[in-house]
Structure 1
Amino acid sequence: MIPAQFDYHAPTSVDEALQLLRDADDAKVLAGGQSLIPVLRLRLAAPATIIDLGRIDALRGVRDDGDAVVIGAMTPHHEVAGHPLVREHALLLALATETVADPQIRHRGTFGGALVHADPAGDLLAPALALGAQMVIQGSGGTRIVDASDFFQDLFTTAVGEDELLTEVRVPKHTGWGAQYEKFTRVAQQWSIVAVAATARVEGGTIADARVALTNMGSTPVRATAVEQALVGAAPTQEAVRAAAASAAEGTQPPSDTNGDADYRRHLATVLTARAVLAAAG
């Protein structure tokens, strides 16, 4: 199908983009376009204005900022996955990004665009939550920082307001932590039926700290805090990790669809959590 008619703008600065957002009555922001363009073609959305962020160079790139790695919202997935800073200090994010769709989409899709789209089956939300990422949001009222735990609010809904933009993401460094993104699909390049993002720090033969988050086990990514607490102080053995992973699905509300019902997903979550933690803990 052909999208409905709209006005198109391609600003070259964040301030210009924000002004366009303030002036438009019904606008959509275009990042990589891998989610928005199919929606427009199907006429599931028919905005009066499209604001394309592709020419704003300030929104691209990865940089070191002391205790955090900062990723521009318009940085393509392939750059995030392969960037030395990300692989050294936020390995979990690099591993998860490598699983996103196919190479063509990873070269077009953007890190910030995927986060703002907030599809619960998307592969970058849970790693961002597990790593304690902070979202930098800019709007007419200035700049604010929102923790990942507060950023994802509901199905396809985030803390970004209608007159605001996600400009960059601050990812706390987890240098030396092991990591694994364990994803279950029926066919290649499918959205995750269930996936688990796990990163762990092992000292003296025991797990000193762990972060675990789940993909597609609710309307937002879910932090498996009970698993994390059970892992601290435990040896990274199959028996100990599987015992901790048994509580992975507690408190979750997974969907039921043609890929599996809620109980099937709860079972998958425990199995994948054990695999992800064992791999992350070496």
Structure 2
Amino acid sequence: MLSRRSNFPRRGPVSERIFGRAYAEAEHGGTWLAAGLFAIALFLFIVSLSVYDITKPIRAQTLLAAGIVSLTDIDRTLEKNVPALREEARTSDEENLEVPGYPLPVTLSRVEALTADIPTIRALVLDRSAKLVYATGLEAFDETGEQSADLFSVSSVIRELVGFLTGDAHERARWVVLASLVIATITGAATLALNRGFARFTSFGLAVLLASAPGYFVARGGTYLVDRFGSDDPFVTDLQVIVQAMLDVPERNFLIAGSLGLIIAVAGRFFGLVANRFFSDESLDPVAYDTGPT
């Protein structure tokens, strides 16, 4: 009569066990490597996507307008120079006129200069200034190439932020988004393929959470610090508005990604426990019947 143990093959030689264990360890290391690369690629994707979103024309030009208000002191400039602009419009044959004393080469038509009130002129000048700076960058402020600013001044910080919000930055971010998306897709698929059962979803979700948590806390911390940094200086106030608006985008994107990663990881772990509890086939494992020589 055959014993229960005889229905299953015996274990292989010692060498097979050793190589089998080494293969299992290598496979386990490969899953962690794939998950780590996926987390890095996903982090770069979210960062570049946030930059791409921030530098979209409509959003960027809105932020640029806030920065230009501080950098050009537009209200005082218009109050002082609109009378001269209107006088020039009445006496000149030019169809387009630059605003006197304004640091950007923005023009108004003769009709606009003669008929528009100061708030309307302000809106027109700001809109055209934002479009100009978005297209050309900080060079729009410096036709001579000789301008400079104190490195640690608030106006210098605003200038750098304004210089970041350009069409060129938008195009560069587009290519980084595409490249990081391809890499994240490949490494994400590898993370799923190298794991087994519901553990693949747990590993995938944890990698997404790992990629999202640092970015979210940095953006959130930056927003908190900006909110706490109060000042009566209009330059600082404008800087706060710009920085907060820029940080809102990555904070939102990292929060969404992190929430999805947490949900996937928890769901994978939960369904894995359920499967092990109610659908385990451990009793059919041949090793369970191989108790060794008797």
Structure with the higher helix share, 1 or 2: 2
Between structures 1 and 2, the one with greater strand share = 1
Q: TM-score scaled to structure 2, two decimals?
A: 0.23
Rg comparison, structure with higher value: 2
Per the normalisation by structure 1, the TM-score is 0.24
